[in-house]
Each structure stands twice: as structure tokens, then as C-alpha cells.
Amino acid sequence: MGDPFYITTAISYPNGKPHIGHAYEAIAADVIARFQRQMGRDVRFQTGTDEHGLKMAQKARDLGTTPAALADEMSQYFIDMDAALNISYDVFQRTTEPRHHAASQELWRRMEANGDLYLDRYEGWYSVRDEAYYDESELVGGDSGEKLSPQGTPVEWTVEESWFFRLSAYQDRLLALLETDGFLRPESRRNEMIAFVKAGLRDLSISRTSFDWGVKVPGSDTHVMYVWIDALTNYLTGLGFPDEGADFARFWPCDLHLIGKDITRFHTIYWPAFLMSAGIAVPRQVFSHGFLLNRGQKESKSLGNVTDPIELADRFGVDTLRYFLMREVAFGQDGSYSPDAIVTRANAELANSFGNLAQRTLSMIFKNLDGDLKPFQTAEVDDALHVLVATACGSELPKAFQALDFSNGIEAWMRAVYACNQYVDEQAPWSLRKTDPERMRIVLQTLFIAVRDLAIAIRAVVPASADKLLDQLGVPSGERDFAALADADWYGRLVASEFRVAQPVGVFPRLELPAETD
């Protein structure tokens, strides 16, 4: 078994249906998980829903239902979205599960035992939408002079008895952690967090008494935990904590928490401080991705531009959507999407370039060689193509993906696809058919090998399509990872197995540009 690799997404608030931001994060995490599996790692991939807190309680009240019923109903939409997007998670953790309450209470007890919790009174500006208290100095003015959080959400002056966490005691350790290379990426976010810690950390209010939709504070029944304490603990719950058994021992500390930029503070300051207090190792890396915008605008109900990611996947194809998001957006930065951009990208790269290459190659082998593959001797030009493709697929793409630089990894792959298409045009196998059938055979078989390499390399991004293609290429399902890619004997085994190329079925359809261009 390979080395363990534990990756998590943020757990989503199920107070509404999933939006494109949720889909983006799930897809990015899934591409990483699948890529690491292809690299031979023993991957544990966790996602879930964050079901407590005032936001959920208020939404349930508005709808005339209970928070528990709302959570049950809405978390199913996230499970359905993951199924629709082919998200290969191992654990879907819901925070209303009893085992999660037990895990959160144990974390609390450990922090208390370490002397980091104390009871006091809290007065401050609370944003229900962000589930966070803000300092007066952080607030911004709204259009009609009202006070808003730095995220632009309404805040209320709140006074209550509260448990506090001694965050101020962790300032130096947190600074050292943030300065550790690779803990928080991208760099711009790391600088922001370092500046935040350097400005001085205040103790954190971590319980509420004004409502009861949450995890009860051990020994303090009128208090429920601040929702972020229990939310962050989900990453431990899924591994069986407080039982520090096999899963916990194998997968903790987490290799990668993948989150959006708006919740970086919670994951790189509060969370490591809680863990340090409880005597638990901190995660190895947090990556905070950018926001996805709809034609450059944030989606919101009032703008009427909220997109259902399942509809997008139905309309353009799951793999098209996955490919577009990973290719188009420089990972870590904000990105924009529109139906036109999806169609243009998918047609240019998947349908016209890679899909066309695969389709041409397989149908020429089917028609001209009776689908029959043989061992063959290459010329210099064939070897050059082989080296170029093998380098892009076996080295450039995985190196970029390892660094979470997906757009550049895919670009290297695309360059190899273009080189193959250029090779087809230059070698013109269709005209060799009469003049030099043996040379035609060599060209087509060289292309067959290139298509196989390209399909394996892009498999994490477009898993269903790549597998459909690899099935047509006769590549066994156990030989589709990066070790298999580097195995020089596979072609010989395939030939010996008497596999024959059948009439190919197109894998990447050409899409129509949407009629409406508003």
C-alpha cells in the first residue's frame, strides 16, 4: 500500500442548495484525490455538511421547520451534487451525527484540561451569515451607513455569557507555523494571515447561550459550542477520533485541507491553535482557492444569476465542466465562467483536439489494419513524438499537479495533444495506405501509444471519458496510473493478448454554442 494521503474539502452550509463554488471545490479536491491515487498514494478523501449554528437555526425558523429536518433534507442535495459530479469521496461527514458530537466534546475537554478555556461575558459585533464575531475596527459601512462585516454581511451587537479560548497565548506558535514553508498556500493568503497574527490576537468567544442548535458544551449545559469549533472538528471525526485507532494513526495529520479564501483565518489560525491546545498535530497544508464568478460577477439570489451546478453538468457534460474549471482558472486565483467560455474551451481542446486525435487514430486502425496491433520498429520522428508525449504525461503534468498548478499541467498536456495532431497531418497516414502500408502501420501504432499516454495522464480531470477511451484502447483497468504509464512493456502485453481495436465511439462530443448570449 502506498503512503497515506488525507484530503478534505470544507464542509458546506446546507442552508441552501449547492452553488457553483461548492461544485468547484468538490471537483478540485476530487481531481487531487484521483491524481494522488494514480500516483500510488493510499488516499482518504472526506467532504460533508456543516449543519449547526445560527444560520441553520434561523433558516429553519423562516421555513417553519426544525433545523434537524432542514439539515436532513438539504444535506441530501450535497450528496446528490457529489454523485452528479463524480466525486470519489470516502467519507461524507455530517456534523449532526452523534459520533461528531462526541469528537467535538472530546476536543473541548482536551482544550479545557490544558487550561485554555475560561468563562466570561462577550459583547461584540456578530455576523450570522459568516458565523463570526468582528472587531469594531474591521467593520465597513454599507450603502445606507449601516455597519457590515468585512465580507459585507450584516452584523448585530451581541452580549452574552460565553466560554473563551486563549487564542492570544498561541500568537508566537501560530506565527512560526504560518512562516513554515508550504503550510499555507497561495503565498498572498499566507502574507495576509501573517499580518493578521502580527497585529495581535484576541481571545476567541467559543460558546453561545442564545440558541441551542449545536453541540452541547461538556459540563455547561446552557451553552452550545460556537459552530466553527464543531465544524473544524469534522476533519478528526471522519477518522474515528477520539478513538485514535488505525484510521487516525494512518491519516492524521491531514495532508491537505482544501478551502475557499474566505475561510482561511478559521483554518490557519483558529484550527491549528485548537489542535495545539488539545495536543494534536496540526495539518500539513492548507490551500485556499479563489472564488468562482459568473461572467465576472458574484452569484447571488438578488442578481438572479445563481447557477445549479447539476444543471451545468447535465447541459455540458460532467467531464467538460470538470475540465473547464481546472483548465481555465489559475488555481488559487479567482476565476470566471460562462456557458460560452465552457463551450469554446471544450470544443477547441477536448472535441477538436484530443477527441479528434483519438477518434482518427482508432478509426484508421480499425479500417486499415483490421484493428490488429503488432510490434513495430520506429523512425526518429516517431521516437521524437513518443518522448515529447511521455515527458508531458509522465513528468510535466504530474509535477504541475503535485504543486496544485492544474492549468499549467493541463497546458503541458495540451501541447502534447497538439504535437500529435501535427504529427498526423505531417505523416498523413491516409496517403501512406497505398504508397507505404508498413509505414502507415508504424504511424498509427505510434499514435495509439500516444493516445493511451494522454488518456492516462488526464484521467483525474475527466475520469469517465478517459476510462471510456482506455476501454476502447484495451488498457486494463489496473494499468491506468502513473506507474503503468512509465511501464515500457505494456504495449507488448497488449499485442500478445490479441486485443483488436473495434469501431471507435466518440468520447468528447462537439458542443453547440448556447443561443442566448446575455
Residues that bind ligand ME8 (CB under 6 A): 10-13, 21-22, 24-25, 50, 231-232, 234, 259-260, 262-263, 291-292
Quote the longest CA-to-CA distance of the chain: 90
Cα dihedral across residues 13, 15, 17, 19: positive or negative: negative
Nearer to ligand ME8, 207 or 361 (CB): 207
Rounded Cα distance between 483 and 463, Å, is: 17
Pairing mode, strands 156-165 and 204-205? antiparallel
Tell me the helix, strand and coil percentages in the chain, rounded to 5: 55, 15, 30
**Taking the complex as a whole, how short is the minimal distance between the CB of residue 260 and ligand ME8, in angstroms?**
2
Nearer to ligand ME8, 54 or 432 (CB): 54
**Taking the complex as a whole, how short is the minimal distance between the CB of residue 261 and ligand ME8, in angstroms?**
6
Q: Per residue, what are the HEC states of 4-40?
A: EEEEEECCECCCCCCCHHHHHHHHHHHHHHHHHHHCC
Of 74, 129, 101, the C-alpha closest to 225 is 101
Nearer to ligand ME8, 18 or 463 (CB): 18
Nearer to ligand ME8, 57 or 263 (CB): 263
Rounded Cα distance between 37 and 19, Å, is: 27
Of 9, 3, 5, the C-alpha closest to 234 is 9
Rounded Cα distance between 490 and 495, Å, is: 9
Q: At what angle do helices 406-427 and 318-328 cross, to 10 degrees?
A: 110
Nearer to ligand ME8, 11 or 81 (CB): 11
> Which residue carries 449532526 as its cell?
96
Nearer to ligand ME8, 332 or 398 (CB): 332
**Taking the complex as a whole, how short is the minimal distance between the CB of residue 291 and ligand ME8, in angstroms?**
4
**Taking the complex as a whole, how short is the minimal distance between the CB of residue 263 and ligand ME8, in angstroms?**
5
Nearer to ligand ME8, 81 or 417 (CB): 81
Question: Do residues 225 and 207 lie in contact, with contact meaning Cβ atoms separated by under 8 Å?
Answer: yes
3-state class (DSSP) for residue 330: coil
Residue nearest to ligand ME8 (CB): 260
Render 397-440 in DSSP notation, one character per residue: HHHHHHTT-HHHHHHHHHHHHHHHHHHHHHH-HHHHHHH-HHHH
Nearer to ligand ME8, 151 or 222 (CB): 151
**Taking the complex as a whole, how short is the minimal distance between the CB of residue 267 and ligand ME8, in angstroms?**
7
Question: Do residues 131 and 54 lie in contact, with contact meaning Cβ atoms separated by under 8 Å?
Answer: yes
Nearer to ligand ME8, 225 or 457 (CB): 225
Rounded Cα distance between 146 and 142, Å, is: 5
Phi and psi, residue 134, nearest 5°: -125, 155
CB atoms inside a 10 Å sphere around CB 515: 6
Nearer to ligand ME8, 263 or 469 (CB): 263
**Taking the complex as a whole, how short is the minimal distance between the CB of residue 24 and ligand ME8, in angstroms?**
5
**Taking the complex as a whole, how short is the minimal distance between the CB of residue 380 and ligand ME8, in angstroms?**
47
**Taking the complex as a whole, how short is the minimal distance between the CB of residue 475 and ligand ME8, in angstroms?**
34
**Taking the complex as a whole, how short is the minimal distance between the CB of residue 50 and ligand ME8, in angstroms?**
3
**Taking the complex as a whole, how short is the minimal distance between the CB of residue 449 and ligand ME8, in angstroms?**
38
